[in-house]
Structures are given as C-alpha cells and as structure tokens.
Structure 1
Amino acid sequence: GIEYMMSLAEYYTQATRRSSIGFFQIGGGIAGDFPICVVPMLHQDLRRSKVPLWGYFCQISDSTTSYGSYSGATPNEKITWGKLGPKTPRFIVESDATIVAPLMFTYIMAS
C-alpha cells in the first residue's frame, strides 16, 4: 500500500504540472477509492499547498447509490472529503463495468 500511494503521489505531482488529470473509478469500495485519495493525502498528510484537485471524475459501478457508503457513495461526497471541487465535472455510470468500460475507453482513446 504505502509504496503504491507514494508512487502515485509522485506521478500525480509531476503530471499535474502540465495539465489536469481525470479519474475513472471502476467499482467501489476501499480498493476503488484508494487512488483518488492521493489529493487529500498530499494536502492534509504531507501538507503540500496548491495541489490541484482531480480535473474530472467518472465512476462506473453497478452498486446502488447510497450516502455514506464506500461502494455507493456519490461523487458529491468526494467534495466534502477534499478529493473533488464543487465545479469538478463528475459522473456516475450505473452499469456493468465489464461491458461499459471497454466501450468508453475505446471511444476516449480514439478522440
């Protein structure tokens, strides 16, 4: 865990110097939420200033939306946790990720 998070923190720091980065979360739970936590970690734990928030957020999940849960948490809850901003474009695709993710990524990579 810690080594992966530090590697992600370094990547995020370097990559966001050039442009914002979007985040696709497939599924939910702690494993699905782990990478998006890099931003609050940089802000709160490492006390770095001027760390940009994620540029956009899209979650693909077949979990039922429910407030306060990991798997069904809405993107708006990520604002209160310091992961996204109020103006961050955010989307939930409620579907089977094994079908939807390849279709979305094929379209995005072709654009």
Structure 2
Amino acid sequence: QIGGGIAGDFPICVVPMLHQDLGRQGVPLWGYFCQISDSTTSYGSYSGAVPNEKITWGKLGVDTPKFVIESDATIVAPLIFAWVLGW
C-alpha cells in the first residue's frame, strides 16, 4: 500500500469486497502487506491504520507478514522497486 486514505487503501479492499459484497467463498486473504506512508500510524486512523487493524476488516490474516515504512513514498517506493527488480 502506497500512501494512505481511500486511494492508498482501495486495492487491499478487494478481498473484503469479494467476501462481503459479492458473497464469494474461499477467496484468500492477502499473503503479504507493506505500507509506505508518512502518515502517523494509529488505531482508528484511516490513512495511518496499523496493519493489525486490517485483520479486523477482513483484509489481512493473523499470520500475514506485515511491514510499515514511515517515510515519503515518492522517495522510498522507487528505491524498493529498484531493489526488488534488481536494478
């Protein structure tokens, strides 16, 4: 998840949407979660909700690896993508 708010959280909302809105059964939860945001994380904060709070929303499982990088995503995301892609 890059950034916070509705735009940052929208892609991860697909899993609960498939479960709750479309009634699909057996849809797996996300297998990995990393959030890059300069928003301060706190419970109840939409932009900076801690990853464990997403468990209660049906987006992540208890055992899902969860990481938070508190920094400017426009700087950090390209660096992470370059490392992952081996550039």
Which TM class, normalised by the smaller chain length?
over 0.9
Query: Whose RCO is larger (CA < 8 A, sep 6+)?
Result: 2
Corresponding residue for residue 78 of structure 1:
54
SS in 2 for 1:26: coil
Letter in 2 for 1:79: I
Q: Tell me the TM-score normalized by structure 2.
A: 0.95
Give the distance between the partners of 2:72 and 2:20, measured in 1 at CA. 34
Identity of aligned residues (%): 82
Letter in 1 for 2:38: D
Aligned residues: 87
Give the distance between the partners of 2:85 and 2:62, measured in 1 at CA. 27
1:61 aligns with 2:32: no
| Structure 1 unaligned blocks of 5 or more | 1-24
Q: RMSD of the alignment, in Å?
A: 1.1
Runs of 4+ more than 6 Å apart: none
| Structure 2 unaligned blocks of 5 or more | none
Letter in 2 for 1:76: N
1:1-111 superposed matches below 5 A: 25-110=1-86
Give the distance between the partners of 1:31 and 1:96, measured in 2 at CA. 16
Deviations 1:14-52 (A, max 9, x none): xxxxxxxxxxx1110011111110000111111111101
